A = this chain, B = another copy of it.
Amino acid sequence: MYDLLIHGGTVVTVDSADTVLTEAWLAVKNGVIAALGAGRQDKPLPAAADTIDACGGIVMPGLVNAHSHLPMILFRGLADDLPLMTWLNDHIFPAEAAFVTPDNVHAAARLACAELLLGGVTACCDGYFREEQVAAAVNEMGLRAVLGQGVVDFPAPGVDDPSRHLTVAQDFIDRWTDRSPLITPSIFCHAPYTCGPETLRQAKAIARAAGVLFQIHAAETRDEVRRIQYLYGRSPVSHLDHLGLLDPATLLVHAVWMDAEDIARAADTGAGIVHCPESNMKLGAGIAPLPRFLESGLTVGLGTDGCASNNNQDLFREMDMTAKLHKLAAGDPTAVPAATALKMATIEGARAIGLGDIAGSLEVGKRADIIILDSRHPRLRPMFNPVSQVVYAAGADCVRDTIVDGQVRVRARKLVEWDLETLMKPVETVARAILPPNRADRPGIGAPDPDGDGPHAT
């Protein structure tokens, strides 16, 4: 007797053989994928306590968002289309200083998790300040996550004294080690230009001692490359390598400006990469050399980045954008095919963030992180090739059911345990404080009824 049986769909396993099973079924026991079968309509289905009919839809691994800043949904659309430094210094940093309180982080992270679960993301790798509250929120919402407390060389929300960042990060790791089956602690050094060499070395030492992932934004903009070159006489990745920071438990996020030597260094050391095409496009940062990463055998996941620079957490769009962007960059429609983008958003992302053994594909023995796409959706019809459909046609709106660790978190497009209003309300309250609805400079508010006499007759 299984706990959960999913049947009647096309199962895109994303296993090493790219197996796709039609008219298939999948059984879950104790949070683990216990059995898979296909093409045996003459045999009775195994018994289970709960059953989901996939109704001809696509059953696939839950998506892995390999780079997020969940609480930043607080600032979604607060400031767009601005020069990078104006955006950061005049909008994001002041808003963070004023509003990144424990309660606000907790509320924002919960709503961000709702968006992820409803959009088919079952695991994410996050880094921010007050990550303690992010962890509590993610754990409550039932997502799988690798979470890193942010480290910089200046004061940040929750850490007034910069000398305490590493202690706070160490405490976070200690508190979340073996505390929840869903949460894996990590450490998140913001970037080579916000963390000096000694901070970076010490943070990586903490990560190594605890056996956790070391995340860092690296080589995101040309400006960063110039700064690091000026300060240390090396490229950002070379700088990190010379500090002894690169290994398979280091995650280089963005990696837009990587030359051949940087790529070789990353590949030799086994460091993981997260590609964030939408964020890189929106900030005008550039195009990461993804085809060269893949040729070099690097493990590359996909991330949405925070909501202030995307501004959604739809990993389906990110897959689509990845495949299309690199076809454009190469002038070649065969570049980065759909299957590659799908792997980046599932198994490769899981590997990059250290969850490759338990998540990212549908295989017997893996944790049951599964999503079901609705076959009755006009965007998915007709369906010749489920992988093409997932990458080029589907969107977050095609996700009908989301299962994490064997638990059904979204069923028929609704969160099973949570009321959306309850999750949205506190975030709305914070948003009204960030930018009061009646403030004159609030964007996008036009003139009220000009003559003040109600209806404008034709």
A-side residues, CB < 8 A to B, are 12-13, 17-22, 27, 29, 32, 34-40, 43, 46, 73-74, 76-78, 80-84, 87, 111, 114-115, 118, 278, 280-287, 307, 310-314, 317, 320-321, 323-325, 327-328, 330-335, 337-338, 364-365, 376, 378-379, 381-389, 392-397, 420-421, 423-424, 427-428, 430-431, 434-435, 437, 442-449, 452, 454-458
**Docked-complex contact A281 and B328, CB < 8 angstroms:** yes
Q: Given the known A-B contacts A376-B421, A448-B21, are A455 and B284 also in contact in the complex, defined by CB atoms under 8 Å?
A: no
Residues of B close to A389: CB separation below 8 A: 76-77, 311
How many angstroms from the CA of A437 to the CA of B312 in the assembled complex?
Answer: 36
List 16 A-B residue pairs with CB atoms under 8 Å apart, sorted by A's residue number.
A19-B446, A35-B458, A46-B454, A81-B337, A82-B333, A84-B333, A281-B324, A310-B392, A311-B388, A376-B420, A378-B420, A378-B423, A381-B431, A384-B434, A385-B444, A388-B443
A182 to chain B, nearest CB (A): 20
Residues of B close to A40: CB separation below 8 A: 448-449, 452, 454
How many angstroms from the CA of A158 to the CA of B389 in the assembled complex?
Answer: 29
How many angstroms from the CA of A182 to the CA of B382 in the assembled complex?
Answer: 27
How many angstroms from the CA of A457 to the CA of B27 in the assembled complex?
Answer: 10
Residues of B close to A78: CB separation below 8 A: 384-385
**Docked-complex contact A431 and B36, CB < 8 angstroms:** no
Q: Which of B39, B331, B386, B444 is A386 in contact with, Cβ under 8 Å?
A: B444
Q: Which of B284, B327, B331, B443 is A333 in contact with, Cβ under 8 Å?
A: B284
Q: Given the known A-B contacts A80-B338, A388-B77, A423-B378, are A39 and B87 also in contact in the complex, defined by CB atoms under 8 Å?
A: no
How many angstroms from the CA of A332 to the CA of B27 in the assembled complex?
Answer: 49
**Docked-complex contact A446 and B34, CB < 8 angstroms:** no
A397 to chain B, nearest CB (A): 3
Residues of B close to A379: CB separation below 8 A: 115, 312-314, 396
Residues of B close to A307: CB separation below 8 A: 393
Residues of B close to A324: CB separation below 8 A: 278, 281-282, 321
How many angstroms from the CA of A40 to the CA of B453 in the assembled complex?
Answer: 9
How many angstroms from the CA of A443 to the CA of B20 in the assembled complex?
Answer: 9
Q: Which of B74, B330, B395 is A312 in contact with, Cβ under 8 Å?
A: B395
**Docked-complex contact A35 and B444, CB < 8 angstroms:** no
**Docked-complex contact A284 and B335, CB < 8 angstroms:** yes
Q: Which of B18, B77, B114 is A385 in contact with, Cβ under 8 Å?
A: B77
A6 to chain B, nearest CB (A): 13
A350 to chain B, nearest CB (A): 20
Closest to A332 in B: B284
**Docked-complex contact B284 and A328, CB < 8 angstroms:** yes
**Docked-complex contact A444 and B12, CB < 8 angstroms:** yes
How many angstroms from the CA of A381 to the CA of B454 in the assembled complex?
Answer: 29
How many angstroms from the CA of A12 to the CA of B286 in the assembled complex?
Answer: 32
A431 to chain B, nearest CB (A): 3
**Docked-complex contact B81 and A334, CB < 8 angstroms:** yes
Q: Which of B73, B311, B427, B445 is A392 in contact with, Cβ under 8 Å?
A: B311
A374 to chain B, nearest CB (A): 11
